Amino acid sequence: MSTDLNQKYDQLIADNLDNVQAHSSNLLNSYRKDAQQAFHKNGLPSIKNEDYKYTNVLPLYKQDWNLPQLEKELPMNINEIFRCDVPNLDTDLVLTVNGRFHEFQGNADKLPEGTIIGGLAEMSEKYPEIVKPYLFQQAEQDTDSLVALNGALAVDGLFIYIPRNAVFEKPIQIVNLLLGERPLLTHKRNLVVADENAQSQIVICDHTLSAERFFDNSVTEVVVKQNARLEYYNIQNQHNGSSQISSLFANVHRDATFHTSTISLHGGLIRNNLRISLLEEGAHADASGLSLTDREQHVDNHTYIDHKAANCTSNQFFKSVLDDKSSTAFTGRIMVQPDAQQTNAYQSNKSLLLTDDASSNSRPQLEIYADDVKCSHGATTGQIDEEALFYMRQRGINQREARLLLMFAFAYEVIDKINVEPLALRIEDLVNKRLRGELSRCNNCEIKCQ
């Protein structure tokens, strides 16, 4: 472990603290000292840290980065640069730029009464009574120093509050944009609360709008209250010089459902931390992920589903298709606490290796302290099924097309879990293009990156 490197980031926090605080909110600032200390205590995780065994973040932190300039006005021509091109996807659109809330483009009048969508810094000043009970309540900054680093440096992010009994007709779409002329290190802090009986779908698209290097460390806390249903989809489609660490913490209450799917199409290094706590009886979680990697890309999905109460269910379903020298990792822990009788938990991780140089690591972990539970897990790593390939070729389908159909079929099991139909169709299309080696970024994107 490099103490010099840790000092560098201690110093970065110290140097920027005043400026960060000046542009953030009192509530966010009230946690900054703790975060700063937690980071100082643990330092950056090396691969000696079990949780980061398969993902080495140190080379990224060794690079030179700039924090976003907070004084500078954000570019106002975002709408000209970026247009989402998911056909027929009718959403209420929210934009963030370099980790900060930029604009809500939906029709606020048509949203259910009491809905709040806005920047976390601003909303925590405006609605402290709604934000405070949930903010910094889940994110584990004492055990994960990258979460702590986010707590120390995040100025803003998104706050979404879905009021009691509200049923959203349209998905809320969050487009996270990164742009700049210098390498940027960004920290974004989000909070999403779905109150009792609420139902909503959230679609998050991560994009890069310039060819510069980016490194985003985002932390999202999610609360799904009693009998609510929240669907949360994340499409990671940044250029390959862009890396991200994305940590999601979700508390799921009685009879509530949290359904999440992460599709990693492009990006350099991607690390997704998913921590779901099933707090009360009847809580349910579906978590899935699909990554399509090539070149030297690396995607690490790290999940922890904590069954804290009886009669809860969870399903995890993670898949990756690996080309070239790329690598993926999956570590999935299912924790069943002593009180969590009648737990039903399932986990599956499958990887399809297209080359001999690609590699995939899978670590399923079950930790069970109750005696009446049903838990199962499975992991497979394999290549294209030669028997199936021959069968298809015998019907006149050429080798390339048959391989594509098989790869797509492999990926489709995850796409099938996306309940927003236009989005699923768009992802189908993107995955198809991606597997064909065609550029799969959104057609309306202005920058031509690799």
> Contact region for other proteins (CB under 8 A) — 299-307, 371-379, 407-415, 442-450?
407-415
Assess 393 for contact with other proteins (CB under 8 A): yes
Residue 55 φ then ψ, to 5°: -135, 110
The neighbour count for residue 44, using CB atoms within 10 Å, is 21
CA 406 to chain centre: 27
Residue 183's Cβ-count burial label (10 Å; 0-12, 13-18, 19+) is: middle
401 touching other proteins, by CB under 8 A:
yes
Q: Judged by CB under 8 A, which stretch of 93-101, 228-236, 264-272, 402-410 contacts other proteins?
A: 402-410
Nearest approach, Cβ of residue 386 and other proteins (Å) = 9
Q: Does 402 bind other proteins (CB under 8 A)?
A: yes
Question: Rounded to the nearest whole angstrom, what is the least distance from the CB of residue 418 to other proteins in the complex?
Answer: 15
Q: List the beta strands (DSSP E) in 308-397.
A: 313-322, 327-336, 344-353, 359-368, 374-382
> For residue 400, with 0-12 CB atoms within 10 Å meaning exposed, 13-18 middle and 19 or more buried, which class applies?
exposed
Say how many residues touch other proteins, by CB under 8 A: 22
Region of 114 (left: φ > 0; alpha: ψ -120 to 50; beta: rest) is: left
Residue 81 or 406 with smaller CB distance to other proteins: 406
Of 203 and 263, the one with the shorter C-beta distance to other proteins is 263
Q: In terms of DSSP bridges, do strands 158-162 and 172-178 run parallel, antiparallel, or are they unpaired?
A: unpaired
**The two structure tokens encoding residue 436:** 């064909």
Residue 425 interacting with other proteins (CB under 8 A): no
Q: Which of residues 167-186 bind other proteins (CB under 8 A)?
A: none
Using the rule CB under 8 A, is 383 a contact of other proteins?
A: no
C-alpha–C-alpha distance, residues 206 and 221, integer Å: 17
Nearer to other proteins, 61 or 318 (CB): 318
Q: Does 23 bind other proteins (CB under 8 A)?
A: no
Decide if 336 contacts 345 (C-beta within 8 A).
yes
In the complex, minimum distance from the CB of residue 178 to other proteins, in angstroms, rounded to a whole number: 34
Identify the three-state secondary structure at position 137.
coil
- 385 near other proteins, judged by CB under 8 A: yes
Residue 409 sits in the site that holds other proteins (CB under 8 A): yes
Residues 6+ apart with CB under 8 A from 167: 112, 198, 199, 200
> Is residue 424 within the footprint of other proteins (CB under 8 A)?
no
Return the range that interacts with other proteins (CB under 8 A); candidates 62-70, 221-229, 333-341, 398-406.
398-406
Binding other proteins by CB under 8 A: which of 143, 382, 390, 421? 390
Return residues touching other proteins (CB under 8 A): 385, 387-388, 390-399, 401-402, 405-406, 408-410, 412-413
